[in-house]
Amino acid sequence: MLTVKTIILKLDCLDTGILDQTIQAYTDGMNYVSTVVYALGKPKGSVALQKEVYPTLREAFSLKSQMACNVVRQVTGTYRTLQQQVKIKKSEWQEIEFTPSSMTCSFKRDFTINGDQIGITTLEGRKIFRYFRYPYMEKYLDNSWKFGASKLVKHRDGTYYFHLCCEKEADTKAITESSNFMGVDVGQNFLAVASTTDKKCKFFCGGEAKNLRNIYSNMRKRLQSKGTRSARRMLKHLSGRERRLMTDMNHRVSKEIVEFAVQNDVDVIGLEELTGIRDTTITHKKQRYTHHSWAFYELQTFVEYKAKDRGITTVYIDPAYTSQTCPRCKHISKNNRHRKSFVCECCGFALHADLIGARNIESRARTVRYNLEVQGCSQPPIRELSMDRVPSPGL
């Protein structure tokens, strides 16, 4: 199974003039191609579109050959995403305007890495930049990982980072040969609850995420209602801090989940396929912010790639009725669950509601194995990226 990771390299350069010019020209090229695609009224294949716009990108915007090709592919992909969102009525056809914040680079054609130096193609040719090489990066730079299409990113403070995409084949056990499974129920009261086949369980991060969200939400309300210059400065200072803290929390929790799986010799982790949950669930107005800021996909993604590193497979299962189904008698009813408690109205089985969900997820993960055995397969089909998880076009 292929493992893909993105390593963030901070460039050590004081004079960023040529990088600014290159990213600006790259963005101008994307906006030109965006205008062409919008006028067509629908996305066009990248090969056909490239034949139409390539000469202009090379002559009018002075882009190098591979840069021009990357511009076309990036704009085409963005409009295809927009078209899919239009089909499910989540957006409308519109002209997309790109901002000069990033540039896609192809390995060996647009960039190369040698030691603590990275060569990046600019409008003036290949330029060498140093980057800060930290100890955790060493295992990705020892030639055991392959480099793919990466991004040169400009942050708001003007500093440049290179998002290096690395991929490697991971040795994971086939699901049909697995015997120990684990279900992970993600939620808001507890970020995650895990339960293994032999009924070992663990609760992760109870209430901390919700408390963090509430603290920053109330802080923003107070500052916005005040409206003074110092309040606006503080809002700008706090911008992005909540997101960074939640990302750090998801990293720590996902690491603990995978460690718990390794300690119990788990071969497969079952996760819920929560596509569209924000559209299909109805929440009270007071809980709307907490619900819509719930970073379940980020946590699941972290669990997935950390599990691959440890040779553990992840599968996504249908989450329908996992919190309302009795794991003992399989009776399904809304009356089984009342907030955090679960009591089966048929057989009387009682347990924590989130733990019930984790046990049902683990059971359905085992069902995936049995279905694959019947079909004669060793692995489930690759999960496609759902519309809820496709980044919206950058406007």
Other C-beta atoms lying within 10 Å of the C-beta of residue 128: 11
Q: What is the mean pLDDT of the chain?
A: 87
Give residue 284's pLDDT: 60
Q: Which two three-digit tokens encode residue 23?
A: 């990213």
Last residue of a domain, one of 122, 143, 169: 169
Q: Answer with the residue of higher pLDDT: 275 or 112.
A: 112
Cα 79 to chain centroid, rounded? 20
Q: pTM, whole model, 2 decimals?
A: 0.81
Residue 381 has a pLDDT of: 58
Do 255 and 195 fall into the same domain?
Answer: yes
C-alpha dihedral over 302, 305, 309, 313, to 10 degrees?
110
The answer to whether residue 385 scores a pLDDT higher than 90 is no
Four-residue CA torsion sign, 248, 253, 254, 255: positive
CATH number, residue 201: 3.30.420.140
- For residue 232, being part of any structural domain is answered with no
Beta partners for residue 3, in sequence order = 168
**Residue 231 forms part of a structural domain:** no
Pair (304, 260) in one structural domain: yes
Same domain, 139 and 184: no
Q: Are residues 321 and 362 in the same domain?
A: yes
pLDDT at 32: 96
Read off the amino acid at residue 148.
Answer: G
Q: Specify the pLDDT at position 170.
A: 78
d(CA 47, CA 31): 18
Confidence class for position 173, pLDDT limits 50, 70, 90: confident
Evaluate whether residue 393 is within a structural domain: no
Strands laid side by side in the 337-338 sheet: 337-338, 341-343, 350-352
Predicted confidence at residue 157, as pLDDT, reads 85
Residue 384 has what pLDDT? 40
| pLDDT recorded at residue 19 | 94
**In angstroms, rounded to a whole number, what is the distance separating the alpha carbons of residues 369 and 194?**
19
Average pLDDT over residues 212-234: 88
If asked whether residues 117 and 186 sit together in one domain, one would say: no
Task: Give yes or no: residues 195 and 54 share one domain.
Answer: no
* Closest to 180 (Cα-Cα) out of 197, 161, 194: 197
CA max distance for the chain: 75
Residue found by looking up tokens 């989540």 in the block: 90
Task: Assess if residue 242 is contained within a domain.
Answer: no
pLDDT reported for residue 390: 35
Q: Are 259 and 269 in contact (CB under 8 A)?
A: no
My answer on whether 140 and 200 are in the same domain is no
Residue 387 CB-half CA count within 13 A: 16
Q: Give yes or no for residue 64 having a pLDDT over 90.
A: yes
Domain end point (choices 145, 169, 193): 169
Domain count, the chain: 2
β-strands 111-114, 117-122 pairing: antiparallel
Average pLDDT over residues 24-29: 96
> Is residue 206 pLDDT above 80, yes or no?
no
Residue 119 CB coordination number (10 Å): 16
Residue 116 lies in a domain: yes
Q: Which domain holds residue 97?
A: 2-169
Give me the residue label for tokens 């990088």: 19
Rounded to an integer, what distance in angstroms lies between the CA atom of residue 177 and that of residue 358?
Answer: 22
Q: Is residue 105 part of a domain?
A: yes
Alpha carbons 143 and 193: distance in angstroms, whole number? 37
Instruction: For strands 146-147 and 160-169, give the pairing.
Output: antiparallel
Q: How would residue 389 be classed by pLDDT, with cut points 50, 70 and 90?
A: very low
Residues 14, 132, single domain; the answer is yes
**What is the pLDDT, as a whole number, of residue 174?**
82
pLDDT for 218 beyond 70:
yes
The pLDDT, as a whole number, for residue 388 is: 36
CA–CA distances in Å: residue 380 to residues 184, 302, 362, 371: 18, 20, 16, 9
pLDDT tens-digit readout, 249-293: 999 999 999 999 999 999 999 999 887 766 666 666 666 656 566
- Bridge partners (DSSP) listed for residue 285: none
Of these ranges, 205-209, 237-241, 291-295, the one predicted with the greatest mean pLDDT is 237-241
Of the pLDDT bands very low, low, confident and very high (cuts 50, 70, 90), residue 182 is very high
**Is 106 domain-assigned?**
yes
Q: Do 133 and 158 fall within a single domain? A: yes
Residues composing the chain: 395
pLDDT at 391: 37
First to last CA, the chain: 35
Q: Which residues neighbour 31 within 8 Å (Cβ) at sequence distance 6 or greater?
A: 97, 98
Tens digits of residue pLDDT in 340-361: 899 999 888 999 999 999 999 9
- Residues 195 and 325 placed together within one structural domain of the fold: yes
Out of 158-162, 180-184, 376-380, which region has the weakest mean confidence (pLDDT)? 376-380
256 neighbors 208 (Cβ within 8 angstroms): no
What value does the mean pLDDT take over residues 309-323? 90
Which of 358, 356, 359, 360 has its CA nearest to residue 343? 356
149 and 179 in one domain?
Answer: no
* Mean pLDDT calculated for residue range 83-97: 90
Q: What is the mean pLDDT of residues 39-43?
A: 90
pLDDT of 178 > 90? The answer is no
DSSP per-residue codes, 353-367: HHHHHHHHHHHHHHH
For CA atoms 329, 334, 335, 336, the dihedral sign is positive
Token pair belonging to 229: 């210059």
pLDDT at 11: 94
Instruction: Say what the pLDDT of residue 375 is.
Output: 75
Per-residue pLDDT reduced to its tens digit, 133-171: 998 888 888 888 999 999 999 998 889 999 999 998 877
Same domain, 76 and 141: yes
Residue 341 within any structural domain of the chain: yes
Q: What is the per-residue burial (b if ≥16 Cβ within 10 Å, else e) of 75-103?
A: bbebbbbbeebeeeeebeeeebebebebb
Interval 61-76 mean pLDDT: 94
Question: Over 90: is that where the pLDDT of 50 sits?
Answer: yes
